[in-house]
């Protein structure tokens, strides 16, 4: 596994996420295409909580061969409990970037990580490398979500005009 490539992707994705969220007006940041969907603000807050409570925490546990139990997470509930859509976008984005930067510093400090180290999670075995690769993949999923939210917002705002001349989505 090319850990340097994955670290670069985490840094690049940090900047991509920031670019997609920076400067968004408050109304658009809180807008949802439907009640079940997340807003841009909710996505950014979710990413910040994931930086603090999920990927880095679990990766450290595996690499350090911790005996601690797998931490429980509930990202869907965090959106509600944390009132993500009521937060300030700038502050949320700053929190996300600060946490990502700290995690990148931590990753740089880990000497000779064994990406094949296995942890017995509640759902079965998982390797350190699985978590690392999933962290990068998680970013990509939410980057796609942020782009889609911007497209849907545009589509909602320009009715009755259509976007189809732009090409297939």
Q: What is the pLDDT of residues 1-22, one digit of tens each?
A: 899 999 999 999 999 999 999 9
CATH number of 3-166: 1.20.120.450
State how far the alpha carbon of 36 is from the alpha carbons of 29, 46, 58, 80, 100, in Å: 16, 15, 28, 12, 27
- Give per-residue pLDDT as tens, 113-158: 999 999 988 888 999 999 999 999 999 999 999 999 999 999 999 9
- How many Å separate Cα 44 from the centre of its chain? 7
Q: What is the pLDDT of residue 169?
A: 66
- pTM value? 0.92
Q: What is the pLDDT of residue 17?
A: 97
Q: Write down the domain spans for the chain.
A: 3-166
């Amino acid at each position: 596994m090319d850990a340097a490539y994955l670290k670069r992707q985490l840094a690049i994705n940090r900047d991509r996420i920031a670019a997609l969220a920076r400067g968004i007006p408050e109304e658009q940041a809180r807008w949802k295409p439907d009640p079940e969907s997340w807003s841009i603000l909710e996505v950014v807050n979710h990413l910040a909580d994931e930086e603090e409570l999920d990927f880095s925490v679990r990766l450290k546990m595996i690499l350090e061969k911790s005996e601690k139990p797998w931490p429980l997470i509930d990202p869907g509930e965090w959106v509600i409990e944390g009132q993500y859509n009521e937060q300030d976008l700038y502050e949320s984005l700053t929190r996300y970037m600060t946490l990502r930067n700290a995690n990148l510093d931590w990753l740089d400090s880990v000497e000779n990580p064994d990406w094949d180290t296995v942890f017995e999670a509640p759902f079965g075995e998982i390797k350190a490398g699985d978590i690392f690769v999933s962290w990068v993949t998680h970013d990509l999923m939410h980057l796609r979500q942020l782009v889609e939210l911007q497209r849907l917002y545009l589509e909602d705002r320009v009715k009755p005009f259509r976007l189809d001349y732009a090409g297939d989505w």
